[in-house]
C-alpha cells in the first residue's frame, strides 16, 4: 500500500492541497470537521498514510487504530460533546459500498451533540 494516493481527496487534505478545519494533527493522524455535518459535532479521523478501508488494515496497523480510538473521546469532549453517561458520541467506520463508504481512505466519523440528528 502506498503512503499517498494522488487521486484521493483525503490524501490531498493530508498534504495541505485541500484546506480543512483541523481538530487534531500529529505524525500519524489527522482529524478535521466534516464539510457536511450530520450532527452538532461531526469530525473525521484519518490515518495520514493511505489505507483504502478497514478491510485493508493489517496486524501492524493495530497500534494506529488503537491510537485513533483512544484519541476519539478526548477530541469529542474538546469539540463539545457532553461527558459520559448523560452525553456521549457515536464512532462510525463505513467500509466498502455496502457499508456506505464514499471516500476510499480509511476514516472514522465521530458524531455528537444534542439529538435528534439529521441523519445517523
Q: Let me know if residue 25 belongs to a domain.
A: yes
**Of 55 and 114, more confident:** 55
41 falls within a domain: yes
> In the predicted model, is pLDDT for residue 80 greater than 70?
yes
Q: Cell 469529542 appears where? A: 76
Residue at 3 is within a domain = no
Reading the block at residue 36, the C-alpha cell is 457536511
Query: What pLDDT sits at residue 2?
Result: 62
Query: Residue 119: pLDDT band by 50, 70, 90 thresholds?
Result: low
Q: What is the pLDDT of residue 120?
A: 57
Residue entry with cell 464539510:
35
Residue range of the domain that includes 65:
9-112
Domain annotation covers residue 4: no
Q: What is the mean pLDDT of residues 71-90?
A: 97
Cell of residue 18, nine digits: 485541500
Domain count for the chain, please give it: 1
Residue 89 lies in a domain: yes
Q: Let me know if residue 42 belongs to a domain.
A: yes
CATH of the domain at 54: 3.30.428.10
Catalytic positions? 107
- 36 in any annotated domain: yes
Burial of 68 (0-12, 13-18, 19+ CB in 10 A): buried
Provide the pLDDT confidence category of residue 115 given band limits of 50, 70 and 90. Answer: confident
Amino acid at each position: 500500500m502506498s503512503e499517498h494516493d494522488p487521486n484521493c481527496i483525503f490524501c490531498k487534505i493530508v498534504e495541505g492541497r485541500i484546506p480543512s478545519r483541523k481538530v487534531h494533527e500529529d505524525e500519524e493522524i489527522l482529524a478535521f470537521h466534516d464539510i457536511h455535518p450530520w450532527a452538532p459535532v461531526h469530525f473525521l479521523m484519518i490515518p495520514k498514510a493511505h489505507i483504502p478501508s478497514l478491510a485493508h488494515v493489517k496486524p501492524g496497523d493495530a497500534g494506529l487504530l488503537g491510537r485513533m480510538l483512544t484519541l476519539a473521546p478526548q477530541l469529542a469532549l474538546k469539540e463539545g460533546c457532553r461527558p459520559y453517561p448523560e452525553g456521549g458520541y457515536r464512532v462510525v467506520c463505513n467500509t466498502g459500498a455496502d457499508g456506505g463508504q464514499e471516500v476510499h481512505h480509511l476514516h472514522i466519523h465521530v458524531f455528537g451533540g444534542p439529538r435528534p440528528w439529521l441523519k445517523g
